[in-house]
Amino acid sequence: MAKKITFEEALAKLEEIAKVLEEGDLSLEESLKKFDEGVKLAAFCNEKLEEAQQKVDLLLQKGNALTTVPFSPRTGESDNGEE
């Protein structure tokens, strides 16, 4: 995936690949290429979902004051030092 895509675009492409693979009209080589692309898209979507879940968790940790906290996905901590 050379260009940056959104979660929604990746999910739509993944659904398209699944449909094409289910039809079974591709050669083995083409099927493997599509499967490989699908695995990469699934990993990308999973990463985005995990980031979203972590942001939700940070919001909920703030208790009654629902404020956003910048999240750094690399460290697993908020930018202000809180978890």
Q: Give the per-residue pLDDT at 56.
A: 83
Name 45's Cβ contacts closer than 8 Å, sequence gap at least 6.
7, 10, 11, 14
Residue 2 lies in a domain: no
d(CA 41, CA 36): 9
Residue 3 lies in a domain: no
Phi, psi of 27 (to 5 degrees): -70, 165
Residue 24 lies in a domain: yes
Residue 15 lies in a domain: yes
Residue 29 lies in a domain: yes
Overall number of domains in the chain: 1
Instruction: Note down pLDDT in tens along the chain; length 83 residues.
Output: 447 899 999 999 999 999 999 999 999 999 999 999 999 999 999 999 999 988 888 777 766 665 656 666 655 554 444 44
Query: Which pTM was predicted?
Result: 0.67
